[in-house]
Amino acid sequence: LVVAADDGVKQQTIDSISCARQAGVPLVIAINKCDLETADPMKVMTELTAYDILTEDFGGDVLVSQISAKTKTNLDDLLDKVMLQAELQGLRANPNRSAEGIVIEAKVERGLGTVATTLIKKGTLRVGDIFVAGETYGKVRAMISTTDGKTRLEESTPSTPVRIVGFGGIPCAGDAFTVAETEQQARELAENRQRIAREKVSSLYQNDLMSSVARTFGASKETREMCVLVKADVQGSAEALTRALRELKLENDEAVVTVKVLISEAGEVSKSDIAIASVTPGTTVLAFNVPAAFAAMEDARLNGVNIEYYNIVYDAIESVESRMQEVLSPTPEGQYVGSAVVQEVFDIGGTGNIAGSRCQDGMLRKGGNARVMRGDKILKESMFKTLRNFKAEVDTIEEGNECGIGLSDFEAFEPGDIVECYVE
């Protein structure tokens, strides 16, 4: 269980503790980031006692190691304690059987194709073995050591991470890796899993379609989507970013904005990615730790497709949230030049309601685009129809002056409303 020494116990820590207890497995605590000045390992161990986790320092039996992944401090101590716990539990793997493991990450490398870092849990994996992993299968063409990234291996034993070459597709992080007896058996198993996945996607699509229809005909809120295309260095990063983006949702009294991920996969941004993104206006390509091919960048420039580069997931999410806010509350065309606060509303017979206002910053211009705000809610986007200073019709109102505002198709003013002015 990894806990940051400067953050302490968070919700994800609590969830991990619950998972470990449900699985009935012991914990080894790694308190990370101990190299920071704000690190407080004692605070972390104290907070863990609230969840019945007593470390050795507090008279309990839970092993704890204070480490720094950045400076590689105390990593040997952590590994020793993991091995000690495994010895106490009598955990042993049988190397004399067909290999089983789990995919840690996968990516596409030039000259090698799909390369997946896999941790062997049971048995011994050898070059030439037929395997299936998630919805893909293949044959081990090469195994590369993760220690130096160059040494070729002929076999891999339990507890050994190894980079495997020979996948027919890109597996997902967390997929089970299993050696099959024959290629036909592996292919049939992978095809069955692909069929189940397609049926699941189809079912989700039908549910989303029905929900969309229900929202369209049964509710007054407008549904808007922001389209993105995700490319990452490894499949695990693409999945994590995609999962976070799909959970984003912004709404107000008038509309709901969600994120639609068109593509989520490992590899550099290609021309085909730009072609897909250019079909839907406003689509953004998120490149996470990957470059874009020169041809793709040229196509993006010609088609007006925006490519954004990130190496931190939270930065990408914040950028998307900012764009979602723009989709939810679009800014009127033109440049913001000023605003006024409504002080009183007057009914001028056939003219309709006029907002008696004071220009609080910048200037207001007759004929400019207007946006009426009430708190953080956008009431209306309109145009300045009339602009009066006392009884005289004027073209502009400067900051600090009082005026009467009439909009082309809005009269439901209330004192305290903000009227913003935008000029093209």
The mean pLDDT value for 159-184 works out to 90
| CA 2 distance to own-chain centroid | 21
Are 381 and 369 within 8 A, CB to CB?
Answer: yes
Reading the block at residue 30, the tokens are: 């790694």
Q: Give residue 28's pLDDT band: very low, low, confident or very high (50, 70, 90).
A: very high
Q: How far apart are CA 383 and CA 394, in angstroms?
A: 15
Q: How far apart are CA 134 and CA 131, in angstroms?
A: 10
CA distances from 118 to 69, 122, 170, 211, 391 (A): 21, 12, 13, 39, 79
Collect all residues with Cβ–Cβ distance below 8 Å to 234 and sequence separation of at least 6.
105, 106, 107, 173, 266
The mean pLDDT value for 234-243 works out to 86
Q: How far apart are CA 19 and CA 221, in angstroms?
A: 38
Are 93 and 105 within 8 A, CB to CB?
Answer: no
Q: What was the pLDDT predicted at 30?
A: 95
> Would the pLDDT of 215 be above 60?
no
> Would the pLDDT of 382 be above 70?
yes
The mean pLDDT value for 256-276 works out to 88
Percentage with pLDDT > 70 across the chain: 93
Q: Give residue 5's pLDDT band: very low, low, confident or very high (50, 70, 90).
A: very high
Q: What was the pLDDT predicted at 334?
A: 74
Q: What was the pLDDT predicted at 12?
A: 86
Q: pLDDT digits over 341-373, tens only?
A: 999 988 877 778 889 999 999 999 888 888 888
CA distances from 404 to 73, 109, 391, 423 (A): 69, 66, 9, 19
203 compared with 318, residue with greater pLDDT: 318
Are 300 and 321 within 8 A, CB to CB?
Answer: no
Which helix H or strand E contains 139, and what residues bound it? strand 136-145
> Would the pLDDT of 210 be above 70?
no
> Would the pLDDT of 94 be above 70?
yes
Q: pLDDT digits over 283-302, tens only?
A: 899 999 999 988 899 999 88
| CA 370 distance to own-chain centroid | 34
Q: Count of CB atoms within 10 A of residue 268's CB? A: 15
SS (H, E, C) 91-116: CCCCCCCCCEEEEEEEEEECCCEEEE
The mean pLDDT value for 96-119 works out to 90
Q: Give residue 155's pLDDT band: very low, low, confident or very high (50, 70, 90).
A: very high
Length of the chain as a residue count: 424
The mean pLDDT value for 172-190 works out to 90
421 compared with 235, residue with greater pLDDT: 421
Q: In sequence order, which ranges of 219-293 are alpha helices (DSSP H)?
A: 235-246, 271-279
Q: What was the pLDDT predicted at 214?
A: 60
Q: Give residue 25's pLDDT band: very low, low, confident or very high (50, 70, 90).
A: confident
Q: Give residue 164's pLDDT band: very low, low, confident or very high (50, 70, 90).
A: very high
Are 193 and 226 within 8 A, CB to CB?
Answer: no
> Would the pLDDT of 253 be above 90?
no
Mean pLDDT for the chain overall = 87
Reading the block at residue 159, the tokens are: 């507890």
Are 78 and 1 within 8 A, CB to CB?
Answer: no
Q: pLDDT digits over 385-400, tens only?
A: 889 888 788 899 999 8
Burial of 374 (0-12, 13-18, 19+ CB in 10 A): middle
CA distances from 162 to 84, 106, 120, 236 (A): 24, 12, 8, 16
Closest CA to 287 of 265, 302, 257: 265
The mean pLDDT value for 92-96 works out to 88
Q: What was the pLDDT predicted at 150?
A: 85
> Would the pLDDT of 217 be above 70?
no
Q: What was the pLDDT predicted at 392?
A: 85
Closest CA to 330 of 248, 415, 254: 254
Q: pLDDT digits over 57-88, tens only?
A: 888 889 999 999 999 999 999 999 999 988 88
**What would you measure as the largest C-alpha separation in the chain, in angstroms?**
96
CA distances from 226 to 281, 301, 323 (A): 10, 20, 8
- The residues pairing with 397 across neighbouring beta strands, listed in sequence order, are 364
Q: How far apart are CA 238 and CA 266, in angstroms?
A: 7
> Would the pLDDT of 208 be above 80?
no
As a 3-state breakdown, the chain gives helix, strand, coil percent values, each rounded to 5, of 30, 40, 30
Burial of 189 (0-12, 13-18, 19+ CB in 10 A): middle
Q: What was the pLDDT predicted at 221?
A: 66
The mean pLDDT value for 201-221 works out to 62
